[in-house]
A and B are shown apart, each in its own frame.
Chain A
Amino acid sequence: NSKVIQTPRYLVKGQGQKAKMRCIPEKGHPVVFWYQQNKNNEFKFLINFQNQEVLQQIDMTEKRFSAECPSNSPCSLEIQSSEAGDSALYLCASSLMPNSDYTFGSGTRLLVI
């Protein structure tokens, strides 16, 4: 059982719809990453946080993707207008500090139809 909790497990959206997924990091872990894993097992970094502050994000996330990690609430990743190419497994991972062990959640599998 993962110590990083992701919900929902599955998400089905039509093109153009919003898609929102949540992540509760492992207790005491201030660093949170979001990755997108496609069907070819390619992992794309999306964004990461340390103590609610964005550390890094790729250009893609600045346009349709938004994410936040408020204190005392789950982290979230939202796609404003889903596209077919967004269909993938979205993984949340947390760690005690950058460049240390990462604990991954079970992921949210998004299907955009």
Chain B
Amino acid sequence: AQSVTQPDARVTVSEGASLQLRCKYSYSGTPYLFWYVQYPRQGLQLLLKYYSGDPVVQGVNGFEAEFSKSNSSFHLRKASVHWSDSAVYFCVLSFYGSSGNKLIFGIGTLLSVKP
């Protein structure tokens, strides 16, 4: 069955430090993968996406992610975090199955950036 696992419910880093948020997926076909961010009392905003090609994809605000088919992973990275990056980050798998298009969401990782 298709699934998305974000093993870290909460990550705390200091401002200026590097960041990696982990995402593992389970899907036998070619995955479409997304990272979305949700700020308090807001909807989800797209950070970046992977469809095919270069496994390292660049997103907004200095975020990037690396797709690994062998590891079934799509980890999110940022070289230097800012306090405004504090939010909940969701890894999302999109696929087209027998009953149409589906989105599978991870449980989210709450990022807290200490000043």
Query: Is the C-beta of B101 less than 8 angstroms from some C-beta in chain A?
Result: yes
Q: Which of A40, A101, A106 interacts with B46 by CB under 8 Å?
A: A101
Query: Is the C-beta of B83 less than 8 angstroms from some C-beta in chain A?
Result: no
Residues of chain B with a CB closer than 8 A to A55's CB: 100-101
Q: Given A41-B88, A41-B108, A45-B102 in contact, is the A98-B43 Cβ separation under 8 Å? A: no
Residues of chain B with a CB closer than 8 A to A33's CB: 103
0/1 per residue, A33-44, Cβ < 8 Å to B? 101000011110
Please, how many angstroms separate the alpha-carbon atoms of A42 and B90 in the complex?
11
Residues of chain A with a CB closer than 8 A to B45's CB: 2, 104
0/1 per residue, B37-70, Cβ < 8 Å to A? 0000111111001000000000000000000000
Number of B positions contacting A (CB below 8 A)? 23
Residues of chain B with a CB closer than 8 A to A107's CB: 42-43
Residues of chain B with a CB closer than 8 A to A98's CB: 96, 100-101
0/1 per residue, B69-97, Cβ < 8 Å to A? 00000000000000000001010001110
Please, how many angstroms separate the alpha-carbon atoms of A93 and B92 in the complex?
14
Query: Is the C-beta of A105 less than 8 angstroms from some C-beta in chain B?
Result: yes
Q: Given A42-B107, A99-B96 in contact, is the A48-B101 Cβ separation under 8 Å? A: yes
Query: Is the C-beta of A4 less than 8 angstroms from some C-beta in chain B?
Result: yes
Determine the interface band of chain A, counting residues with CB < 8 A from chain B: 20 to 34
Query: Is the C-beta of A75 less than 8 angstroms from some C-beta in chain B?
Result: no
Please, how many angstroms separate the alpha-carbon atoms of A113 and B47 in the complex?
35
Please, how many angstroms separate the alpha-carbon atoms of A99 and B90 in the complex?
17
Closest chain A residue to B90 by CB distance?
Answer: A41
Q: Given A45-B103, A55-B100 in contact, is the A101-B43 Cβ separation under 8 Å? A: no
Chain B residues at the A interface, C-beta cutoff of 8 Å: 32, 34, 36, 41-46, 49, 88, 90, 94-96, 99-103, 105, 107-108
- Cβ-closest 3 pairs across A and B: A98-B101, A104-B43, A104-B44
What are 12 A-B interface contacts by the 8 Å CB criterion?
Answer: A4-B43, A35-B103, A45-B103, A48-B100, A56-B101, A91-B44, A99-B96, A100-B32, A102-B46, A103-B46, A106-B42, A106-B43
